[in-house]
Protein backbone atom coordinates (compact mmCIF):
# COMPACT_ATOMS: atom_id res chain seq x y z
CA UNK A 1 0.00 0.00 0.00
CA UNK A 2 2.80 2.43 0.89
CA UNK A 3 4.63 1.56 -2.34
CA UNK A 4 1.56 2.34 -4.46
CA UNK A 5 0.97 5.65 -2.63
CA UNK A 6 4.64 6.59 -3.11
CA UNK A 7 4.42 5.65 -6.81
CA UNK A 8 1.31 7.75 -7.37
CA UNK A 9 2.64 10.83 -5.56
CA UNK A 10 6.07 10.62 -7.21
CA UNK A 11 4.57 10.07 -10.69
CA UNK A 12 2.12 12.96 -10.31
CA UNK A 13 4.85 15.27 -9.01
CA UNK A 14 7.18 14.15 -11.79
CA UNK A 15 4.60 14.76 -14.51
CA UNK A 16 3.85 18.24 -13.14
CA UNK A 17 7.46 19.31 -12.58
CA UNK A 18 8.70 17.82 -15.83
CA UNK A 19 5.78 19.01 -18.00
CA UNK A 20 7.83 21.74 -19.76
CA UNK A 21 10.57 19.19 -20.54
CA UNK A 22 8.00 16.62 -21.68
CA UNK A 23 6.40 19.18 -24.01
CA UNK A 24 9.79 20.22 -25.41
CA UNK A 25 10.81 16.60 -26.07
CA UNK A 26 7.45 15.86 -27.71
CA UNK A 27 7.90 18.83 -30.04
CA UNK A 28 11.50 17.85 -30.82
CA UNK A 29 10.46 14.27 -31.68
CA UNK A 30 7.78 15.58 -34.06
CA UNK A 31 10.28 17.92 -35.74
CA UNK A 32 13.01 15.26 -35.94
CA UNK A 33 11.08 12.71 -38.02
CA UNK A 34 7.56 12.12 -39.33
CA UNK A 35 5.16 10.43 -36.95
CA UNK A 36 3.68 10.83 -33.48
CA UNK A 37 5.69 12.00 -30.46
CA UNK A 38 4.68 8.97 -28.41
CA UNK A 39 4.95 5.29 -29.20
CA UNK A 40 2.47 3.11 -27.30
CA UNK A 41 4.16 -0.24 -26.90
CA UNK A 42 2.26 -3.43 -26.01
CA UNK A 43 3.90 -4.73 -22.84
CA UNK A 44 3.36 -7.55 -20.37
CA UNK A 45 2.17 -6.24 -17.03
CA UNK A 46 1.27 -7.64 -13.66
CA UNK A 47 -0.15 -11.18 -13.84
CA UNK A 48 0.98 -11.23 -17.51
CA UNK A 49 -1.83 -8.88 -18.61
CA UNK A 50 -0.96 -6.82 -21.72
CA UNK A 51 -1.07 -3.04 -21.38
CA UNK A 52 -0.03 -0.08 -23.54
CA UNK A 53 3.11 1.69 -22.30
CA UNK A 54 4.02 5.15 -23.63
CA UNK A 55 7.56 6.12 -24.59
CA UNK A 56 8.85 9.00 -26.63
CA UNK A 57 9.24 7.65 -30.16
CA UNK A 58 12.91 6.95 -30.90
CA UNK A 59 12.48 4.88 -34.04
CA UNK A 60 11.19 5.68 -37.48
CA UNK A 61 7.55 4.85 -38.14
CA UNK A 62 7.16 1.39 -39.60
CA UNK A 63 9.97 -0.13 -37.52
CA UNK A 64 9.42 -3.82 -36.69
CA UNK A 65 7.75 -4.34 -33.31
CA UNK A 66 10.54 -6.35 -31.67
CA UNK A 67 13.24 -5.68 -29.10
CA UNK A 68 15.83 -3.37 -30.64
CA UNK A 69 18.68 -5.86 -30.16
CA UNK A 70 16.77 -8.34 -32.36
CA UNK A 71 16.74 -6.01 -35.37
CA UNK A 72 19.22 -6.82 -38.12
CA UNK A 73 20.39 -3.19 -38.31
CA UNK A 74 18.98 -1.19 -35.36
CA UNK A 75 20.83 1.98 -36.33
CA UNK A 76 18.87 2.15 -39.58
CA UNK A 77 15.63 2.48 -37.59
CA UNK A 78 16.67 4.78 -34.74
CA UNK A 79 16.09 8.47 -35.41
CA UNK A 80 18.89 11.01 -34.85
CA UNK A 81 17.11 12.43 -31.77
CA UNK A 82 16.11 8.92 -30.73
CA UNK A 83 19.73 7.95 -30.18
CA UNK A 84 20.12 10.79 -27.65
CA UNK A 85 16.78 10.08 -25.98
CA UNK A 86 17.72 6.42 -25.49
CA UNK A 87 21.22 7.13 -24.18
CA UNK A 88 19.86 9.68 -21.69
CA UNK A 89 16.77 7.54 -20.89
CA UNK A 90 14.57 10.58 -21.55
CA UNK A 91 12.44 8.38 -23.83
CA UNK A 92 11.21 6.62 -20.66
CA UNK A 93 9.69 9.72 -18.99
CA UNK A 94 6.14 9.19 -20.37
CA UNK A 95 6.04 5.96 -18.35
CA UNK A 96 5.26 8.14 -15.34
CA UNK A 97 1.73 8.12 -16.79
CA UNK A 98 1.66 4.32 -16.58
CA UNK A 99 2.81 4.55 -12.96
CA UNK A 100 0.10 7.08 -12.15
CA UNK A 101 -2.70 4.95 -13.63
CA UNK A 102 -1.42 1.77 -11.96
CA UNK A 103 -0.03 -0.25 -14.87
CA UNK A 104 3.51 0.21 -13.60
CA UNK A 105 5.53 1.03 -10.51
CA UNK A 106 8.62 3.21 -10.28
CA UNK A 107 10.63 0.09 -9.37
CA UNK A 108 9.97 -3.47 -10.52
CA UNK A 109 10.94 -5.76 -13.37
CA UNK A 110 11.03 -3.91 -16.70
CA UNK A 111 7.89 -4.79 -18.67
CA UNK A 112 8.60 -7.33 -21.38
CA UNK A 113 7.42 -6.76 -24.92
CA UNK A 114 4.24 -8.67 -25.75
CA UNK A 115 6.26 -11.06 -27.93
CA UNK A 116 9.12 -11.82 -25.51
CA UNK A 117 7.63 -15.21 -24.61
CA UNK A 118 10.93 -16.61 -23.31
CA UNK A 119 11.41 -13.80 -20.78
CA UNK A 120 7.75 -13.94 -19.71
CA UNK A 121 8.00 -17.72 -19.17
CA UNK A 122 11.19 -17.37 -17.08
CA UNK A 123 9.64 -14.64 -14.94
CA UNK A 124 6.40 -16.58 -14.50
CA UNK A 125 8.33 -19.67 -13.38
CA UNK A 126 10.05 -17.49 -10.75
CA UNK A 127 6.78 -15.88 -9.55
CA UNK A 128 7.82 -12.44 -10.79
CA UNK A 129 4.57 -11.92 -12.74
CA UNK A 130 2.92 -10.98 -9.41
CA UNK A 131 4.90 -7.72 -9.39
CA UNK A 132 3.87 -4.52 -11.11
CA UNK A 133 6.50 -3.82 -13.81
CA UNK A 134 8.79 -0.88 -13.15
CA UNK A 135 10.22 2.13 -14.90
CA UNK A 136 13.49 0.82 -13.47
CA UNK A 137 14.47 -2.29 -11.60
CA UNK A 138 17.13 -4.47 -10.04
CA UNK A 139 18.02 -6.05 -13.40
CA UNK A 140 18.19 -2.59 -14.99
CA UNK A 141 20.89 -1.39 -12.62
CA UNK A 142 22.80 -4.67 -12.89
CA UNK A 143 23.29 -4.77 -16.65
CA UNK A 144 20.31 -3.29 -18.52
CA UNK A 145 20.55 -4.19 -22.24
CA UNK A 146 23.67 -6.29 -21.70
CA UNK A 147 21.90 -9.08 -19.78
CA UNK A 148 20.57 -12.31 -21.28
CA UNK A 149 16.96 -13.11 -20.35
CA UNK A 150 17.99 -15.83 -17.88
CA UNK A 151 19.96 -13.26 -15.88
CA UNK A 152 17.15 -10.70 -16.08
CA UNK A 153 14.68 -13.24 -14.70
CA UNK A 154 17.13 -14.30 -11.95
CA UNK A 155 17.69 -10.67 -10.89
CA UNK A 156 13.93 -9.99 -11.02
CA UNK A 157 13.41 -12.99 -8.71
CA UNK A 158 16.07 -11.56 -6.36
CA UNK A 159 14.15 -8.29 -6.30
CA UNK A 160 10.92 -10.16 -5.52
CA UNK A 161 12.61 -11.80 -2.52
CA UNK A 162 14.34 -8.63 -1.25
CA UNK A 163 11.89 -5.87 -2.20
CA UNK A 164 11.26 -3.00 0.17
CA UNK A 165 11.23 0.78 0.26
CA UNK A 166 14.97 1.13 1.06
CA UNK A 167 15.91 -1.11 -1.86
CA UNK A 168 13.56 0.85 -4.14
CA UNK A 169 15.16 4.14 -3.12
CA UNK A 170 18.62 2.65 -3.75
CA UNK A 171 17.54 1.42 -7.21
CA UNK A 172 16.08 4.83 -8.10
CA UNK A 173 19.30 6.61 -7.03
CA UNK A 174 21.51 4.22 -9.02
CA UNK A 175 19.19 4.54 -12.03
CA UNK A 176 19.45 8.33 -12.03
CA UNK A 177 23.26 8.11 -11.92
CA UNK A 178 23.30 5.51 -14.71
CA UNK A 179 20.95 7.59 -16.88
CA UNK A 180 23.32 10.53 -16.71
CA UNK A 181 26.25 8.32 -17.79
CA UNK A 182 24.24 6.20 -20.33
CA UNK A 183 25.81 3.10 -18.76
CA UNK A 184 24.47 -0.20 -20.12
CA UNK A 185 22.63 1.26 -23.14
CA UNK A 186 23.48 -0.50 -26.39
CA UNK A 187 21.12 1.26 -28.84
Per-residue pLDDT of the chain (187 residues; tens, 9 = 90+): 899 999 999 999 999 999 999 999 999 999 999 999 999 999 999 999 999 999 999 999 888 777 777 777 778 889 999 999 998 889 999 999 999 999 999 999 999 999 899 999 999 999 999 999 999 999 999 987 778 999 999 999 999 999 999 999 999 999 988 877 655 555 4
Residue in 85, 76, 70 with CA at minimum distance from that of residue 27: 85
Cα separation, 26 vs 96, in Å, equals 15
The residue among 20, 42, 38 whose CA lies nearest residue 29 is 38
- The answer to whether the beta carbons of residues 154 and 127 sit under 8 Å apart is no
- Indicate whether this model's pTM tops 0.85: yes
Decide if 115 is inside a domain.
yes
Residue 187 in any domain: the answer is: no
Residue 158 falls inside a structural domain: yes
Q: How far apart are CA 144 and CA 9, in angstroms?
A: 26
How far does Cα 68 stand from its chain's mean position? 13
Domain limits for position 19? 2-181
186 located within any domain: no
Amino acid sequence: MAKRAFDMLAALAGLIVLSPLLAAIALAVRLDSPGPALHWSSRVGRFNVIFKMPKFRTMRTGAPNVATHLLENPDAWITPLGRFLRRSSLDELPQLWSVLVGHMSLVGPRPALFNQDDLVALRTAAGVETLRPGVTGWAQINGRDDLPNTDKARLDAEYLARRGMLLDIRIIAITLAAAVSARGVRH
